[in-house]
Each structure stands twice: as C-alpha cells, then as structure tokens.
C-alpha cells in the first residue's frame, strides 16, 4: 500500500462539501507510529467538525466508492459562525483504534509494532494515521479494534464530568440526554464511585434504558410534573452541577430554577439575593442549535458555560490524564463498553441517506466506521 | 430619643408594600455601636430588596410623613420569583454613614464613641442602627456623613471587579452601563492601576462623561458599527472578562461574540471548537429584567454567570476585605467620590413620584437619604 483515503470537510460560502482524498502513506518520525485504522466511531462531537452549521436535512451525495461527495447548504447564520474554518480542508474523526503497522526508531515506538492501540488524534476517518507513540493507548490483548474504538471521547468526557464536579466543589450532578452512550457510561461510573446523578430524558423508552442500568434518579421532561420531579431529585441528591447536551432553549435555565427551588427548601441557605451556593450548568453539546434562554430567576450564584474535553484535559494536567486513561483501559469491557448498531465504510459515511440516519443521533443507535471496508 | 423610624419592604400575594415603622432605640451589646444614620444612598443594588419584581411604573403612595405607604402591583412572573421573601418585612438600605452615639463595653467599641463611621450593615434606611464595632469603617476627620455614605457598595464592587479579573487570569475588562457612578469609579481605578477597560454606553452624553474622565476605550451601542468598534477595542485590550449591569437581552452574548471575533484575529489561538482562552461575562445587575439570550456562536470556552459582592467577598476572605476597605478610606475624596443630585427624607423615599424618579436610574442622577430630615 502506498496510498490511503482520508475524509475531509470543507466549508465555503457555497456550503459544505465532504469528500475522500488519496494521501501518501506516511513515514513515521522517530517518535511516531503509523496505525492502520480499523474502527472509528461517529460521535456527536465529530458532527461539529464534519458538518458545522450546515443543514444536513438538505444534504445530497453524488458518486460512488472513493469518489462519493457529500454536499449540504449552510443553515441560517451558519456562515458567520464558521468564519474561522472557511475554505479549509479539515480532516475529521476524533478517535479510533487499529494496528500499528510501522514505527519510528525510538524504543517505545518500536515496542508498539504489531500491537493494537487506541488513538485520539483527529483525522481518524482515514485508512492510516501517523501519531506520536506516547499518545496511543495500547489495548488489552483480548480487545478488538471495535472494542477499543471509543476509548477516549465518551469515557474521558464522562470521567471528566466527575473530575469537574470534585474540582469545583459539587457533590452530585444532573445530566441531560441521559440515556445516550455517554449517559450510560456516566451512570456506571457514578454507581461505582458512589456519586448521585439526576438523569433527565425525554421519552419513556429512555427511562426504561436507565432503569435497567439501575439508575436511581430518572426524570422525564415530557411529564407534566417534570419541574417538581426535577426539584425533588435535585433536593434529594444536593446536585448543584449540571451537564447539558442540548444547549439551546431553556434546559439549562430550568435546571438552575430547580436547583434554586431545592435550595429554598433548606432554611438558612437563602439570602434575599437567592441561594448562596454556586449553581452551575455546563453546555457540552448542541443537540438544539437555537439560542440558550436564561430567565435568571435563580438569584446571583449561578453560572452557565461551554465545556469541552480537550480544554478540560489541558487544564487538568498530565497526571490526571494518565490516571483516567488507565481506568479506561482497565474497565474497557465493563464501564466503558460501547455498543454499535451499524458498521460502515468511509464512503458509506458520505452517503446522504446514511448521513441523515446517524445525524439524527437516535438513542441506542451508534455508527462505527471501518476504513478498511 | 427613645424611638426611630425604619423602612420595611413586604411582598405579599397582593403586591408590594413599603412603609416606615417605629422601632425602639437599640441597646448596644458589648461589641456593638449604635450609629445615628445621617446619609445612606439609594444604589441600584438596593432596588432589588426594596422593590423586587414589582411594577414600579404602577406604584402609588398614600399618607404623609411617617405614615406614608408605597404600594405597587407585582410584575408578571414576579410572585414565583419572590417566593423566598413572601410575607416577610425586610429592612432595606445596604450602606450609609453617621455618628456613633452609643457603644458597648468593649474597648474598641468605646473607642469609636462620637466618631463618624461608614457601615454596610443592611437596614440602613433607618434613623439609628446597631452594628458590630468591627464592621464599621472610621471615616477621616475631614469627611462628612455624605462623603462617607457610599464607602462600600460601589467602591468595593469596582475594586472586586479588578480582583476577579486578576484571580481568574484575565488582563483587561469590558463594562456595560459604563457611565454610571460605579463605572466612573471603575475607570479611575483602572487608570490608577494600569488596567485597560472597554466602556460600553448607550448614548453620546455618556460617551462625553467618560471622555472627560480620560477613558481610552468607549463604545456606543447605538452606533451602527457597534460590533466592529467593540471587537476592535477588545482586540486592542485583550479583554476576556466582562461585567454586565443590564442582564437581559443579548448584551452578554454580543460581548462574547466580539471577544471570539477578536481572538480569531490572532493566528494560533483558534481551534475548530473556537478560541481556547476562556471568555467570561458576569451579570451583576438587571437593568433589563428580560431573559438573557445566548446564541453560543463563540466556541466552547465561554461562561456567563451572576456576580454578587457579598458572595465574592465571602470567597475572597478577610485579608482582601481589609486591604480593599483601607484603599476606600484612603481615596475617599478622589477615586471613590460620589456625587448626589438629591437629598431626601425616609418619607420622601416612599413618595411614588420620587420613587419613579430614582427608579429610572438615569445617568448622573443619584439619590441620598438623610434619615434625620
């Protein structure tokens, strides 16, 4: 093999275009390894780089196999939001796993030859990928590439929610879109670590998924008494930190309202300016692209903000990252097990009909790309 | 004198009622002093406790002198926001100054007898007030009660904005409603301390006030090219922290947008998820009671939250508080000088016509209550 295919995403004033381009097989530098990518998941966090603010409901594709091209118009306001990436060919795919097929001269790089590793290197929607050997996570002997494909984004995000909770002096958390792959991992972590979690979902089917997992606090936002249920659960757990995957609308505001109402049930914790304890909701996703609406009826000790795994890890430092990665490897078959409903090729991933399916982010559906197909 | 008048604010399901009640002259405990209140300002931060979510445009008053009563209906949604204070008679007035007319047996309390002091004790809209001697700030010999009336709220708020900036690793700030009494103090502090400040105002008259003060960066939100002006000023100063007095609407969002646009001008500081440096806007006031609208088009490293002086001081600790209070006393006639346009009695302060005037919070207008009138 002297070439491989790589997926690129480009936004121009005309809209979004995604295609596969032929790249020359990389030569590893002394500290690098070349990984033959065998499994790479499509995470919600990949959609941001893949599609940006394009209107995927209007996406079309043309061509077959390596020549397939996906096009989509930009959503209203999309262009001004994507100025920073205009006309750049961006490689996509945050993480994946595969086999080390070439290694640089450094001893550690050489020691990984032939091993199966997981990588969070960006540009993983590609047949091959050269990365620093130090950045790869060697997988247990019995793990397939499929087993190790999602070692980083969801596991580290879930673990770092708990790190954030401890670092910012909270003792329990609220999570929205709680039946997701990430949400299920988070529940397993919370159960293992004795942390209370309030799960917010939108449908009974999602309540059932979490019940089966043994989740204690599950609140369905479609119920009429949602706000009271949420306040009760927050009062019972003492949660003052929320992680919100939805982003737009009044979800964050409603969580803060319930936290404030829960605080008001405890005499003494209240001043005329509202409860004293800081209440925080982090938005880590944008299932709803609309504006976030905050009615501010929760005193003065509140915050809302963006949360991004790489930014958190950069602040947390190397020691934390090493500790968390070790836990992921140790619990790969239990806590951090991912389920995939579809395994597709790079070309399939640019088929407009398939794109619309995985872009729907349906609970229980998760797509894996195998670039070797 | 065996009694004095105290202003109380009460919210019931029927609406807001404010009145003056006769109180018995307090006996100081050993560590306390009794202050004859001679000057106490009406700050925007007092309005919250005085009026809450009442509709002051519909306020009426009845009675004369000590019998005057102010009533106002609640604004839509006001009742649910004020549950925590329902049916409670709340004393009002955060700060003020006056003469020590009685003191407890402790040596320090005794040492203040006859002295003029400033106090931030709450319930200052009253003829007299017993407070711990340690909490009082003795005024310089040449300072009148009027000079010392506003020693705490605005001066400490302005100083604590700068403390927040340093503590959270920012190097310049953006401030809205920047021509206010607080905004002017903040500009004097920034000039003295070499901190860049971007002043956002709404009218040319406010631009002129700040120009005369020597402010370097003034942006008028009524100008057509406001967003570009703001981005330029933020780029020039490197401001990644804003303090917003307005609260409702898209002010905070627009500041974050401009910070993100400014960051995008610097190569390398950008990732596909937006600029890396955390951008923060604190809402410390609610000139606009409407919801805060965040369009989130500024990457993932952003935050919006409430900011309240007592909460900040509680976290900052005693050493910081002592240092800042000393600076206020030292610079009372310069940096922290307040100007008052009206001096009124407690009874005047409940006259509906006068209430509507000071509730308008017009730039340049500031009311002082003299409870001895």
Note the pLDDT tens digit of each residue in A184-217: 999 999 999 999 999 999 999 999 999 999 999 9
Task: Count residue pairs from A and B with Cβ separation < 8 A.
Answer: 112
Q: Residue B270 above 80 pLDDT?
A: no
Cα(B225)–Cα(B221) distance, integer angstroms? 8
How much is the average pLDDT of A140-163?
Answer: 95
For A89, name the nearest residue in chain B, comparing CA atoms only.
B272
Over residues B177-198, mean pLDDT: 96
Per-residue confidence (pLDDT) for residue B27, from 0 to 100? 94
Asked whether the beta carbons of residue B303 and residue A299 sit closer than 8 angstroms, the reply is no
Q: What pLDDT does residue B78 have?
A: 84
Q: What is the pLDDT of residue B264?
A: 85
pLDDT for residue B76: 87
Higher pLDDT, B89 or A264: B89
Q: How near does any CA of chain B get to the CA of A316, in Å?
A: 14
pLDDT at position B206 is 96
HSE at residue A352, side-chain half, CA atoms within 13 A, is: 16
Mean pLDDT over A261-288 rounds to 85
What long-range pairs does A54-62 form, CB within 8 A, spacing at least 24? A54/A11, A54/A15, A54/A16, A54/A78, A56/A355, A56/A356, A56/A359, A57/A356, A59/A16, A59/A352, A59/A355, A59/A356, A60/A352, A61/A350, A61/A351, A61/A352, A61/A355
**Residues of B with CB below 8 A from A254's CB?**
none
A363-373 mean pLDDT? 92
Question: Residue A248: what are its φ and ψ, rounded to 5°?
Answer: -80, 165
Give the residue carrying structure tokens 């008053």. Answer: B61
Does A267 have pLDDT greater than 80?
no
Q: Which of B71, B75, B77, B117 is nearest to B95 (CA)?
A: B117
Helix (H, G, I), strand (E, B) or coil at A90: strand
- The partner residues of B74 in beta bridges, in order of sequence, read B54
> Do the beta carbons of residue A321 and residue A313 sit within 8 Å?
yes
Interface probe with B: pick from A228, A297, A298, A314, most Cβ of B within 10 Å: A297
ipTM: 0.90
H or E element at residue A22? strand A15-24
Residues of chain B contacting A299 with CB distance shorter than 8 Å = 306
Find how far residue B14's CA is from the centre of its chain: 28
According to DSSP, residue B301 is labeled: S
pLDDT of residue B269: 56
Find chain A residues with C-beta within 8 A of B303's C-beta: 303-306
The Cα-based distances of A49 to A43, A87, B287, B299 in angstroms read 11, 13, 38, 12
CB contact (8 A) between residue A303 and residue B299: no
Does residue B83 have a pLDDT over 70?
yes
Per-residue confidence band for A265, with pLDDT thresholds at 50, 70 and 90: confident
Cβ neighbourhood burial of B351 (10 Å; 0-12, 13-18, 19+): middle
Residue A294: pLDDT band (50, 70, 90) is very high
Distances (CA, A) of B289 to A304, B160, B180: 18, 24, 18
For B131-167, the pLDDT digits (tens) are: 999 999 999 999 999 999 999 999 999 999 999 999 9
In angstroms, rounded to a whole number, what is the distance separating the alpha carbons of residues B349 and B5?
A: 13
In chain B, count of helices (H) and strands (E)? 12, 22
> pLDDT band at residue B268, thresholds of 50, 70 and 90?
low
Instruction: Express each pLDDT in B27-81 by its tens digit.
Output: 999 999 999 999 999 998 899 899 988 999 999 999 999 999 999 999 988 888 7
Dist CA A15 CA A11 (whole Å):
6
- Distance separating alpha carbons of residues A262 and A245, to the nearest angstrom: 22
Q: Which residues of A touch B307 (CB under 8 A)?
A: 300
Reported as a pLDDT band with limits 50, 70 and 90, residue B313 is very high
Q: Which of A53, A80, A84, A90 to mutate to test the interface with B (most CBs of B within 10 A)?
A: A84
Position A244 scores a pLDDT of: 98
pTM: 0.91
φ, ψ of residue A268 in degrees (nearest 5): 95, -25
Closest CA to A183 of A217, A149, A146: A217
Tell me, what's the pLDDT at A269? 56
Binary contact (A283, B291; C-beta < 8 A): no
| Phi/psi of residue A8, nearest 5 degrees | -125, 145
Interface of A with B (CB under 8 A): 48-49, 77, 80-81, 83-85, 90, 247-248, 253, 264, 270-274, 276, 278, 280, 283-284, 286, 291-297, 299-308, 310-311, 314
DSSP state of A83: G
């Amino acid at each position: 093999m002297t070439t491989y295919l790589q997926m690129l995403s480009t936004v121009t004033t005309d809209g979004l275009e995604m295609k596969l381009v032929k790249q020359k097989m990389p030569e590893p530098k002394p500290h690098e390894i070349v990984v033959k990518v065998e499994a790479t998941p499509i995470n919600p966090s990949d959609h941001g780089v893949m599609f940006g603010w394009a209107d995927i409901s209007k996406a079309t594709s043309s061509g077959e196999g390596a020549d397939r091209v996906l096009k989509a118009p930009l959503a209203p306001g999309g262009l001004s939001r994507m100025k920073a990436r205009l006309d750049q060919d961006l490689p996509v795919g945050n993480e994946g796993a595969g086999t080390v097929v070439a290694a640089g001269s450094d001893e550690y790089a050489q020691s990984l030859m032939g091993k199966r590793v997981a990588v969070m290197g960006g540009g993983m929607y590609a047949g091959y990928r050269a990365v620093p050997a130090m950045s790869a996570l060697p997988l247990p002997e019995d793990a397939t590439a499929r087993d190790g494909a999602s070692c980083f984004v969801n596991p580290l995000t879930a673990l770092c929610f708990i790190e954030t909770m401890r670092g910012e002096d909270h003792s329990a958390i609220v999570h929205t879109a709680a039946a997701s792959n990430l949400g299920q991992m988070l529940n397993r972590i919370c159960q293992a670590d004795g942390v209370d979690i309030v799960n917010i979902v939108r449908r009974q089917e999602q309540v059932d998924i979490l019940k089966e997992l043994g989740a204690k606090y599950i609140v369905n936002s479609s119920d009429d008494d949602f706000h009271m249920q949420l306040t009760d659960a927050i009062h019972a757990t003492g949660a003052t930190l929320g992680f919100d995957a939805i982003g737009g609308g009044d979800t964050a505001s409603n969580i803060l309202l319930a936290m404030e109402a829960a605080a008001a049930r405890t005499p003494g914790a209240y001043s005329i300016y509202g409860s004293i304890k800081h209440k925080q909701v982090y938005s880590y996703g944008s299932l709803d692209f609309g504006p976030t609406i905050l009615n501010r009826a929760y005193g003065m000790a509140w915050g809302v903000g963006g949360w991004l795994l790489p930014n958190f890890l950069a602040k947390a430092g190397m020691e934390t990252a090493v500790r968390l990665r070790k836990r992921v490897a140790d619990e790969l078959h239990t806590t951090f097990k991912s389920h995939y409903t579809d395994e597709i090729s790079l070309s399939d991933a640019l088929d407009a009909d398939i794109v619309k399916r995985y872009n729907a982010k349906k609970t229980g559906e998760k797509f894996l790309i195998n670039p070797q197909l």
